[in-house]
Structure 1
């Protein structure tokens, strides 16, 4: 696990080109839905992205973080680390559509996906609404949430 975290950190922080947009980090909270609502009351986590400009309206890069699902009725909590490719398409000066697609590292890891709508609050802050899920081993750990990102 430590090796995977090191590789993820290296991949995110070690990238750099002359066309780089930059690094962003933030927090999120959500309500578990589907299979996750049977075992969890709420979800929360941290997000990190390193994005590059493809053109004026499209950015791409890497996304990772840590997502926690609280245990319900004294049950154990669950968590996963997403390692994903990310893309964002600017619809206007204030809105963008995005998606993260990759692998969720967990005890029963699987396919990770996170479509989102992003609202640009300011030059440095973005608010997002998203559906985040890891599907694998016959179940899906998912939530609908909101997040706040800071662009460095």
Structure 2
């Protein structure tokens, strides 16, 4: 089993060293939708991605970041802001020179008290302004296991992404 794991790591690093690689960083702002929309006012998210080309129009890699959702007072009670640290695999497909679609799949680690995190998914559409700047629209979701039900902590964000 250890040999298979080691071989997998070597294969991934080899692919990354042969093909083009890039780091990207993004800043996003958005609104909370779904189960928690009554508790939250807005969301800010920072992303850092490492992507490499696996084909002419396809990139894969890893993405992480930080998400801060600012909550509001509800019925006279203050609520805690919600914070996540997403750790995910990223996939991108360039449908033209200007437009790219993709998704991030992984786990969002809950940072604030009482937040256990959950499955993270973020489908996205990107418009390339130039070689180093994209405008990104994304739907970010975290599926939170709350005992007998699963709640969705979802945001719709708009932001910019910079190639580093």
Are the equivalent residues in 2 in contact too, given 1:115–1:131 (CA < 8 A)? yes
1:92 equivalent to 2:96? Answer yes
Bigger CA drift: 26-35 or 67-76? 67-76
Number of the residue aligned with 1:139:
151
Gaps of 5+ in 2: 1-12
Structure with greater Cα Rg: 2
Number of the residue aligned with 1:36:
36
1:110 equivalent to 2:118? Answer yes
TM superposition outliers: structure 1 runs of 4+ over 4 Å? none
Give the paired residue count. Answer: 138
Q: Distance in 1 between matches of 2:20 and 2:56?
A: 12
Are the equivalent residues in 2 in contact too, given 1:39–1:71 (CA < 8 A)? yes
Number of the residue aligned with 1:79:
83
Number of the residue aligned with 1:20:
20
CA RMSD of aligned residues (A): 1.2
Gaps of 5+ in 1: 1-14
